[in-house]
Amino acid sequence: MAEKTIGRDIVPPDLVAKITGRARYAEDFRAEGMVFAKMLLSPMPHARVRRIDASEALRMEGVLGVLTAEDVPEVSTPSEPILTMEPVYEGEPILAVAAVDEATAAEAVERIVVDLEPLPFALDPLLSLRPDGPDARLEGNIYHIDDDVREMRTHKWAAADFDGAPEGRLPMGEPAFDWSIGDVAAGLEQADGIVEETLIHQSLTHHPMEPRSCMAYWQNGKLHVHVSTQSAARCRASLAGMLDMDMEDLVVVAEFCGGGFGSKITAHPTMAMTALLSQKVGRPVMLRVTRYEENYIGRARPGFQAWAKMGFRSDGRMTGLDLYIVQDQGPYGRSGDAFTAATVASLTYQPEHMRFRGVSVFTNTPPRSAQRAPGGAQIIGMLEPLVDKAARELGMDRVAIRRLNAPASDGWVGPNKGSLTSAYPKEALDKAAEIFGWEERIARSGQTNGTRVTGIGVGLSPFVGGSTGFDGLLVIRPDGKLYVHQGIGNLGTHSIADTARAASDLLDLAWEDVVVVWGDSARHQPWSSVQAGSQTIHAHTRANHAAATQAKRKLQEIAARDLGGSPNAYEVGDGRIFQRSNPGRGMTLARAAERAIELGGAYDGHELDEDLHAMTRASATALAGTGLVSAAKDTYPHDGSTWSWVVGMAEVAIDTETGALEIMEFTGVADCGTVVHPRSLAAQIHGGCIQGFGIARSQKWVYDPKWGVPFAKRFYTARPPGILDVPLSPRWGALDIPDPQTPVGARGIGEPPVGAGSAAITSAVADALGGECLCRTPLTTDVILAAIEGTEKPYRPLETHV
Amino acid sequence: MDDVEIILDAGPKTYSRRTFIKGVIAAGAAVSASGYLFRGPGLLSARPTAQGSVERLITLSVNGQQRRVDVLPHETLAMTLRYKLGLTGTKLGCDRAECGACTVLIDGVNHYSCSMLTHQVRGRQITTIEGLAAADGTLHPVQQAVVDEGGFQCAFCAPGFVMSMAAMVATNPDPTREEAAHALSGNLCRCGDYNKILNCAMRAAELSRTTA
Amino acid sequence: MEILRRAANPWGQEVWIGIGWDLMWLALILGALFTIGHAIWVRSTRGEIPAAPSDPGAASGIPERVTRHGGSARAFHWLMSVAMFALLITAFFPVAGIQFPWVTIHWVAGVALTLLVAWHVFDSSIRRDFWSMWIGRKDVAEAFAQLKDVLSGSEDGGERAGKYPIDHKMYHHATVAVGLGVIVTGLLMMVRIDTPFWPQNPYLLGDGTWGVVYVLHGLCGVALITMIMAHVYFAVRPEKLWLTRSMIKGWITRTEFLSHFDPEKWKVADAGTEVPTAGGGSGAPAGVTPTDHTTV
Amino acid sequence: MAMMRDMIPGFELFQPADIDDAVELLDRHGSDAWVLAGGLDSFDWFKDRIKRPKAVIELGAIGELTGIRETDDGGLEIGAMTSLADVAAHPAIRERFGLLADAAGLVATPQIRNQGTLGGNLCQDTRCWYYRSGWPCYRAGGNTCYAAAPQAMNREHCVLGASRCVAVNPADTAPAVVALDAKMVIRSRGGERVVDADDFFIGPAIDITRMTVLEPGDLLTSVRIPADWANATFYFEKVRDRVAWDFALVSVASALKVEGGTIRDVRLAVNGVAPYPMRLDMVEQAVVGQRQSEEVAANAGIMAIQRARPLRHNDYKVPLMRNLVRRALRETA
């Protein structure tokens, strides 16, 4: 028997390429005759283009063409266009120029005259909600969606809503959406202790290391694009949609992705822009996106201005949770963060009664999208310090109060009180407390050493951990190797390899005999989940397990056909298919592959299951005849939603004379089902938590309110955490309790750590400040020092983008 | 939206909004002109070379090879490596000395290649990620350490980190974990894989001690 | 030559930010050319200054010393000149490359000048005769007469002036225009710098409007360079020294009075003595009589 | 003009072999010339396409600008092109003038210290993001300070020494050279002149468009550290948001001579609070002759901030400066 690969550290198949410079990311490709594109970005937060004069630029030697909004597909408000005549944020692309070299393209852009008429702009949702407040869009400031209506609307609150609110408390006018469980008023009525706070969470750019550069060319009627995307197969589908073309005419090469965190889930307008510009000038085009541009077009997490009121019984049980979220929507689309935030809160605390109200307001700031734990990271980082406050008032241990309210597998989630596949947050809290040494450390809470005071924090953070119903595609070739075709992306989670283990283990193959095929759509991909929302390990261990099960059955049938007996009498092992009763009687998988080709039909992919997605069918058909082809859809039963959990515990030290914050110790413990790849899991936990640290302590946006333009648009002003801003030796753990409703038992883990990391820090800082919740992120040096010194705070109570 | 005047040639033309016409044109590869980032002065409106200014055609010592290359006065080393010498292992994450993805070794010392002119390194030994492994493919101790520890996630930062690790083990083959962190503090990892990266660094030091 | 300094505002729109400093040098050159030119012209056209008529003595009823500038008027003039020089030096020396912390001195001097002008307006219009600076029909006639003399080169003093000759009046009014220009724009600009009076605020006006304000301030400023140069030049010309002295001591001699002024236009009486006037009755201090401008 | 970034406009590059050639080139090109040392400040300007010099004079080839030499008076002379890493690591500097080694060692990141030079660090321009965005502010020759507007984002701007412009000096080594009474050696066509570090940095009141006394044609060739403060008691601290890369929110540098618990002499400078590294002469005078104590340190801190006038978003700098001054006089005890 070959050693099972699940639960074992392996060397990812792409690692050596990554550290020898051979791994090729989008900007590393060249094509014969390749030219360069540069974008002209709007200098105004909101404007109307009155006139574009590119004549001087086009007269320049080497300038090949200009692409404007006139050349791209129209989209309906509030969707994001590829290029625009009404820029709605500073930095939005208005046009793109192609030239034989990048310097010429840059000079050409500077010579294009764009006459812009400034329009009113809004940076702060609360200002836009004022009766006389500006709207970010000419069509209004919210996008209304209900069962029968989807339209832009102007949503304003009454002056009384603002005047009535006590200084510093979130004004709460008419919400745009809401839901309730039970009667929150009654719930708060029953409470022995109440905590109430206004909470401010910043918007922040994803800033993956690799900007979304793109290279595109047209060849023989096909569009070839080299892109940076999280999800290979799904990027191809959405880009085809964006360009209104058939998927067959589109080759997407996405072998490596330099990080996405939700900003590169599928196709991005710049991909279509590059393709269309290439089409227009008849040359391969490279759009080299810079960090400066990435800040504008690279997506961001929506900020919240929120208010929460929690009621607790004396035993610590949460009787009521009243939540109001004003969401900074950015200029386009409709972000689900606020909804998810409420759902996550309901799951984490299982309140007996809950009410959620919210409004998502358009602003003239860069487009938002999911950012690792969208909504979840914000709300957990914001609410956990309130739970601490309640624990203090009730004289309870802060782990205990979380343990008490957290759900077990029979818990519920969301407005419809949906069920869970399984959940072990209580156990995760126990394990974290043990690894972190909660009991010993909590004794140091608030103690000072010289000018440094210690704070201990804890955060409990769930997030959706998987989807279902995708396809797996495998080929056992005459070389005896198993080829696992992956349509998911490769952004460093190692999912391309780890989800393949479901197949290799089931077919009992040595890992060396497994070949993972990924990244290039010309190499035949199955219909796959997006590589986002922690779906992949769950969705594709299932899909590959289904395909491997089908492959095993085909092997058994081939063996039975050639060697007699019933298929069920045969077992796979060590690269062979053999009779259980007489292991000597069997054949190698190599031989079986040859036989499959000879037999044809279903065995070598000429006949396929009916329920496969068109993309999978096309890929399997292309592979037909190359070996034993197995293509199957994940139809395993799945009841309830799948959530993973991470507990973060941190010890921080705050210098009371400077406000400097140091994270001394950190422990992250996950409940994410079966552990497939320990080292990679640890990396996901720590990496996610570190992004949480960035949210909690340093990363931010800064906008000048007069001009509506940003300043914190570079790394040194946006301040993502560096290696010296995090603990030297963080610890981790995982429960490794399989989820009963998925074959391999693995749940996703990408998202939950972010909220855990953020909350552990906001909680620890509040603890160090004697329980004072600053209720705002990021907790930068100046914010902390102002709190300690009692000087004027560096921000107004509800101020955003500072 | 109202009509917008758009002048895309010598004379003005007014377009009104129209829907996108589906269809693809077979473009293929047209005239070969792979000068990439920069071309001759004609396209750069560069003044005729002033007396005493640098010669454009220079020899660079990259990964042990002498490479003749035409370098413009304002060209950064990262651009020369990536677009003139085809060494795309050196990444550009910010182009502003704020992320370290472009880190290369100059005479064994780690520098941001995005923030130095190629002309500043004439006659100096340039080592990029491509030049780290031995000719026979044997990995550099640092690279081997990364393989041993399964380092990096998206790995866009990896070439830069690896080069900084190489510089570190050359000067301090027996660092504490904290010293290693300081040696690598000029490289950013947005995946937040710092713990594993430090494990790699410590392992790299260990390997370089044993192989040395 | 750079006349206007332009820049792109944060939204990429072109705005004015001020005058080109070449204009400062231009103003200096113009001032120099004028003085030199005038000196040469005077030397070539006029001979020696026409001899003053012999002193008719006290009989003429003209006091020996005719008061020309009261104490307050002189105080105003000299204080204003101090403020003016402070302003010009702090404004233009740094531009010329002589650097020092000039901003505070500049705005303080500016405020001083403003107060002086306010006081002068009050003083000249309420306490003294506002109309003495008015350019009336007689002044025009006088101007023509002088012009005729110049052209005909006739040597007799020709038409003699009232208390303030037409050229003085014209210079004064030019100064009023330019002075008010710098003062108004200057006071606005103070909103943009850190003063004890209010918080710094660059957004009181739109940046387009600010551009105009800065350009006006600059233009008036450089105009003053030329005007002050001309003024100082005349003050030190030998044939005008008696006027300069009068600005220091306050009086001119009877001889000077008779040779430069028309007693009909500028009625004076022996200091302290009452003289019947056409207006009759009301006494007036030596110097100006109420009828100065009404008797035609 | 359109916003275009990250593409360096063309220029002529000169790499003189000695100081005379460099000075001659500077003189020839006047205001079209740009001096390139490590380039970490320069490249930002070039890539933002805001500064477009015609002639860039790169000093890397000038050997005499690099290195650290002992001077006859027992002090040190540090070539302006000596890398910050070398300054931070040099035995003599660490041993006798540790203050400067500490400051240089806290600059940005290892790669930046390997390439950045002492001269470049001292001469760098302010990081005010309004100015750096190419806005027509006073410092850029315009007529506005956008950072001092009532609603402006000025968390990192100054609380002292403002004059229309409220930007701060970002150099980590600047307060150290001021506290060490360093002398700045400047060469130009007119010859050599030596300027006290304290006078080298100028505020906007004197020239709003420059950070130092250097004018077109001037070249900072070396920094002389006199022996006066060798082996004194030093303290340097830099408070910043992130441990790497970030500029100081506030930094403090102090040199003390203490005999028998009494402060015989002291130099105290802070940066990040004013448009120039600010020497606190009055505080120095107040503490000299006093016994070093918590009380003296505390009073010094309070005295240091007496004239501070915070902007909308930087009140925190006042207590931060006060506390750092207190530490500088206390913790060295």
Residues A55-79: tens digit of each pLDDT: 999 999 999 999 999 999 999 999 9
Range from A97-101, A465-469, C126-130 carrying the lowest mean pLDDT: C126-130
Q: If phi over 0 gives left and psi between -120 and 50 gives alpha, with beta otherwise, what is residue A316?
A: left
Confidence of residue C168 (pLDDT cuts 50, 70, 90): confident
Residue with the two structure tokens 């050229």: C167
Instruction: Note the pLDDT of residue B14.
Output: 38
Asked if the model's pLDDT at residue C68 lies above 80, the reply is no
The mean pLDDT of C138-152, rounded to a whole number, is 69
Instruction: Note the pLDDT of residue C58.
Output: 61
CA–CA dist A375, A801 (Å, integer): 18
User: Are B110 and D114 an interchain contact pair (Cβ–Cβ within 8 Å)?
Assistant: yes
CA nearest neighbour of D156 among D166, D144, D165, D164:
D166
Asked if the model's pLDDT at residue B17 lies above 60, the reply is no
Instruction: Give me the torsion for CA of A435, A441, A445, A449, rounded to 10°.
Output: -130
The mean pLDDT of A125-141, rounded to a whole number, is 97
Query: Does residue A715 belong to the interface with chain C, where contact is any CB pair within 8 Å?
Result: no
Instruction: Note the pLDDT of residue C57.
Output: 65
Chains in contact with chain D (at least 3 beta-carbon pairs closer than 8 A): A, B, C
Instruction: Note the pLDDT of residue C43.
Output: 86
Asked if the model's pLDDT at residue C279 lies above 70, the reply is no
The mean pLDDT of A113-121, rounded to a whole number, is 97
Q: What percent of chain C has pLDDT above 70?
A: 75
Question: Nearest by CB to B110, which of D43, D54, D111?
Answer: D111
* C55 or A213, which is more confident: A213
User: Are C203 and D207 an interchain contact pair (Cβ–Cβ within 8 Å)?
Assistant: no
Interface residues from chain C to A (CB-CB < 8 Å): 10-12, 203
Asked if the model's pLDDT at residue A782 lies above 60, the reply is yes
Alpha-carbon gap: A556 to the closest alpha carbon of chain D (Å): 60
Instruction: Note the pLDDT of residue D224.
Output: 98
* B117 or C132, which is more confident: B117
Instruction: Note the pLDDT of residue C256.
Output: 76
Alpha-carbon gap: A508 to the closest alpha carbon of chain D (Å): 48
Sequence-ordered list of residues with C-beta below 8 angstroms from that of D222, at least 6 positions apart, any chain: D65, D77, D78, D79, D80, D185
Range from A517-521, A685-689, C42-46 carrying the lowest mean pLDDT: C42-46
Alpha-carbon gap: A36 to the closest alpha carbon of chain B (Å): 7
Confidence of residue A216 (pLDDT cuts 50, 70, 90): very high
Instruction: Note the pLDDT of residue C165.
Output: 74
Range from A544-548, B16-20, C122-126, D324-328 carrying the lowest mean pLDDT: B16-20
Query: Does residue D134 belong to the interface with chain B, where contact is any CB pair within 8 Å?
Result: no
User: In the numeric block, which tokens belong to residue A688?
Assistant: 């996610």
Asked if the model's pLDDT at residue B30 lies above 90, the reply is no
Nearest CA in chain D to A288: D6
pTM: 0.93
Instruction: Note the pLDDT of residue C49.
Output: 55
CA–CA dist A527, A685 (Å, integer): 28
The mean pLDDT of A441-457, rounded to a whole number, is 97
Instruction: Note the pLDDT of residue C292.
Output: 36
User: In the numeric block, which tokens belong to residue A220?
Assistant: 């023989």
Asked if the model's pLDDT at residue C232 lies above 60, the reply is yes
Q: Crossing angle for the helix pair A678-697 and A376-394, nearest 10 degrees?
A: 80
Residue-wise pLDDT for A239-284, tens only, equals 999 999 999 999 999 999 999 999 999 999 999 999 999 999 999 9
Confidence of residue C131 (pLDDT cuts 50, 70, 90): low
H-helix or E-strand spanning residue D221: strand D219-225
The mean pLDDT of A566-591, rounded to a whole number, is 96
Instruction: Note the pLDDT of residue C269.
Output: 57
Instruction: Note the pLDDT of residue B18.
Output: 35
β-bridge partners, A144? A151
The mean pLDDT of C177-204, rounded to a whole number, is 92
User: Are A704 and D10 an interchain contact pair (Cβ–Cβ within 8 Å)?
Assistant: no
Instruction: Note the pLDDT of residue B46.
Output: 39
Please answer whether residues A323 and A380 qualify as being in contact, where contact means their C-beta atoms are separated by less than 8 angstroms: no
Other Cβ atoms within 10 Å of D51 Cβ, number: 15
Sequence-ordered list of residues with C-beta below 8 angstroms from that of A549, at least 6 positions apart, any chain: A506, A632
Instruction: Note the pLDDT of residue C271.
Output: 46
Confidence of residue A792 (pLDDT cuts 50, 70, 90): confident
* C254 or B60, which is more confident: B60
The mean pLDDT of A348-358, rounded to a whole number, is 98
For residue D10, the chain A residues in CB contact (below 8 A) are: 103
For residue A706, the chain C residues in CB contact (below 8 A) are: 203
The mean pLDDT of A77-95, rounded to a whole number, is 97
Range from A123-137, A596-610, A665-679, C148-162 carrying the lowest mean pLDDT: C148-162
H-helix or E-strand spanning residue A118: strand A113-118
Residue with the two structure tokens 């409106």: B45
Confidence of residue C55 (pLDDT cuts 50, 70, 90): low
Please answer whether residues B156 and A209 qualify as being in contact, where contact means their C-beta atoms are separated by less than 8 angstroms: yes
Other Cβ atoms within 10 Å of C94 Cβ, number: 18
Please answer whether residues A309 and A298 qualify as being in contact, where contact means their C-beta atoms are separated by less than 8 angstroms: no
CA nearest neighbour of D272 among D156, D153, D124:
D156
Residue-wise pLDDT for D38-81, tens only, equals 999 999 999 999 999 999 999 999 999 999 999 999 999 999 99
Range from B12-21, D161-170, D278-287 carrying the lowest mean pLDDT: B12-21
A vs D contact (3+ beta-carbon pairs below 8 A): yes
Instruction: Note the pLDDT of residue C246.
Output: 82
User: Are D320 and A785 an interchain contact pair (Cβ–Cβ within 8 Å)?
Assistant: yes
Instruction: Note the pLDDT of residue C198.
Output: 86
CA nearest neighbour of A499 among A480, A521, A514:
A514
Asked if the model's pLDDT at residue C290 lies above 80, the reply is no
Other Cβ atoms within 10 Å of C186 Cβ, number: 23
Q: What percent of chain B has pLDDT above 70?
A: 79
Mean pLDDT of chain A: 97
Question: Nearest by CB to D3, which of A43, A716, A724?
Answer: A43
Instruction: Note the pLDDT of residue C140.
Output: 75
Asked if the model's pLDDT at residue C54 lies above 80, the reply is no
Residue spans of alpha helices (H) in chain D:
19-29, 42-47, 84-89, 91-96, 98-105, 110-115, 118-123, 129-132, 173-179, 197-200, 281-287, 294-304, 317-330
Confidence of residue B34 (pLDDT cuts 50, 70, 90): very low
Interface residues from chain C to D (CB-CB < 8 Å): 5, 7-10, 12, 15, 17-18, 94, 99-103, 192-194, 199-203, 207, 210, 214
